[in-house]
Structure 1
Amino acid sequence: MLPYKPFAKNTRLKWLKLSRTNITTLTPDHFYGLSSLKTLSLSRTPLQSISAHSFVPLKALRYLDMDSCNLTRIPQAVTTNCHLSRLNLANNMFHRSGSMPAEVMAMLSGLSQLRIDGNPLTEFPASFLLISRENTRLLRHLLHSTMTLPVWLREPCTPYYWAMHLTNRTTNLKGFVHQYNAEKMRKSGLGYCKEQYEWMMEQIEVYRELEKNSEDVKFNLAF
């Protein structure tokens, strides 16, 4: 475990690697003083308890690496870093759609990179639909990752959800799912996918304001 405020005097530190340690618990005290830290790696750390405010002291954090940390869902703690642009959550234990809760994804919609490859995801997270269609870079990362996960085959509507969501988007993105059109959906007996997509869009609408507020905060901090 980490001692009490171990980095209190490291106010100028930019990069910290705690990978492959046996740390199981994270609290705000552990990162106290790291106000200039831009990169934090916790990969291959068997995390069991993460306080919702653990990363609050990391005011300048840009990249957080939590690859292979045995996580079953995205920690609420990652939403406290307004400047976070890259988040690595690959090779964890995300099985269900609830592993990527909408209230968390709404706060992460401004990321430029979110890695989730290597997770045994078998359900399509409706929270993916919160990502702004203008954020093509993040959409590309999520689309490519989804195509490699069990959900792409286990939940047959998944390709069609993406195809519908990327309607009227750039050819660059649509090209990956162009074959999953309405005609093929009907011929495959998957016409209900459209209804489910519309239902999911309605369900996540309540989180749109949270997403907007998150973007406003980041914009204000930038100036």
Structure 2
Amino acid sequence: MRLIRLLKNDLVDEIQAWVGDGIISTAQAERIASRYGVDYHDRARHSIGYQLVLVLGYLFIGLAIITLVGANWDEIPRSIRMGGLITLTLGVNLFGWFSYRRGREQAAVGAFFLGSLCYGASIMLIAQIYHLGEHFPDGIYWWSVGVLPIALLLESRLLMVLAFALGTLWFWVEAQMHYYPASYPLLLLALAWSVLFRKQSELLFLGLLFGTVLWVEFNLGWWLGEGQ
């Protein structure tokens, strides 16, 4: 019993998943939570803070991995580099998928966030291995494209913000290099769909507004001759 009490936050996560799956009612969830000294609704209100701490933890782990690998990159054989990057990226994302299947959405989002960092690092490092640097913004583009489906599937604000930030970075780099970023409106459409038909989010709405204004302003400049 004491072990369950120590893991009461995880217990409430499971209870929330049971409610979402229709296994138990909200009233039953409240009674189970109160039995172990947890306020079911108070825990739900503080889930954003919990997610923030979790994401920061995964962020530092990702940065530590990237720093460690980067410091010893030239000393690692090419085959081990390639296999290690693929294994790490797949492993972290599979952990996120299994967490999602078990109803642990917060853990899944955190794992997919870390997996997205590993995915982006893998793109850049594999491009370095095989000297694929003809047009480096393509790496940012495919990073954003890889994150976007997962963000839509999980209806995650965090992953959607990451996909949007990467897409906007790609847009900016392309524009600075005097290329026309024709795919950017597709990202805006995905963001609009998420805002209108999925989770309501002021942050995503502001991002959509910013991206739309940026796109319109860029096109005005481009077609008036400033982008040529």
TM-score band, normalised by shorter chain: 0.3 to 0.5
Of Structure 1 and Structure 2, the greater helix share is in 2
Of Structure 1 and Structure 2, the greater strand share is in 1
What TM-score does the superposition give when structure 2 sets the normalisation length? 0.34
Structure with higher Rg: it is 2
What TM-score does the superposition give when structure 1 sets the normalisation length? 0.34
